[in-house]
Amino acid sequence: MVRYLGRRLVSAALVLWAAFTGTFLLLYIVPGDPVEMMLGQEAAQTMPKEQIAALRAEFGTDRPALVQYGDQLWKLLHLDLGDSLQQRIPVADVLSGSLPPTLVLAGAGLVLGVLLGVGLAVLIRTVHAPWLRGPLQALPALGVAMPTFWIGLILLQFLSFRWGLFPAFGDEGLDTLVLPAFTLAVPLAAVTAQVLSASLAATLDEPYVQVLRAKGVGTVRLFTRHVLRNAALPTLTTVGVWVAQLLGGAVLTETVFSRRGLGQTAELAVSARDVPVVQGIVLLSALVFVTVSLAVDLLYGVLDPRIRLRAVTA
């Protein structure tokens, strides 16, 4: 187990390094001077060139790309994300101020998506009426096909603008969380229902299920005590991958619904070419991904002891 965890931690470190390097290269080749963007077009034209050069030297943007990369990587190894070029405060403070609303939105979307997906999958495998089962089986494919931003726009159009059931914009109060959370939940629920439904179908054909049914075990007890746990492994992987995607989806959803959070921070940072802030957001997303992936692997061992035994002997 120790060697397994060691390999996973090394893999996680490589993922974080690749995310950092890719973001640096992408932002470096984008045209534009970060200092001039920070000052604004009018101020950059009127300010003396000596002052602009002094600002470039202060932020280190006048140095060669390799030197800038090495300096930022060294700071990262010391858990220092640097300072925002636009706000002149540490990137850690910028992220700590914008992260909580995004986590609330992503968490609400995760819970709602898992509940809807599991409920739909169980309905698909327990409802036998053809006129109802057919539409239920079509819902997951429909949910997967719809882009997240399009779902948000449709919800805004009908539930907010036309019927006035929920606020269209803002982040004050629980009612403003309903539409954004549901926007994030629909794709997750669709994928969860697809994977879990297929896994349930395979599990229901297992001989032990037939034995339990022959013994008179009811449907509710059969699903809650036996079938769902054994069918959950593929679904757990799917949900784990989607947790990281939820963070990115929350950033886009916040833009659609004009909510504060990482979405607004990312939009401003990209527009101003605030390299340290953009790198901080990308690294945060990568950290969430590798952490959730490790947690999913460990949960595999809890749900299936055979996997835990293989990890111990590896």
| Angle separating helix axes 130-145 and 91-126, nearest 10 degrees | 160
Residue 309 has a pLDDT of 44
Ordered structural domains, the chain, with CATH: 2-77 (no CATH), 92-313 (1.10.3720.10)
* Rounded CA separation 75/69 (Å): 10
- Looking at residue 113, its pLDDT comes to 92
Longest dimension (CA), the chain: 87
In the prediction, which pLDDT does 117 show?
Answer: 92
pLDDT of residue 152: 86
115 vs 120: CA distance, rounded Å? 8
- pLDDT for 156 equals 87
For residue 90, the cross-strand partners are 83
Structural contact between residues 37 and 269, judged by C-beta atoms closer than 8 angstroms: no
Per residue of the chain (314 residues), give pLDDT as tens: 677 778 878 888 898 899 889 888 887 777 777 777 777 667 767 778 888 788 778 777 788 888 888 988 898 888 888 888 778 889 999 999 888 888 888 889 999 999 999 999 989 888 878 888 888 888 888 888 888 778 888 888 898 888 888 888 877 778 888 999 999 899 889 999 999 988 888 888 888 888 888 888 887 888 878 888 778 777 877 787 777 677 777 777 887 888 888 888 888 887 777 888 888 988 888 888 888 887 777 777 666 655 554 544 45
Question: Structure pTM?
Answer: 0.79
Three-state SS at 200: helix
Residue 112 has what pLDDT?
92
Burial of 41 (0-12, 13-18, 19+ CB in 10 A): exposed
CB 278 within 8 A of CB 4: no
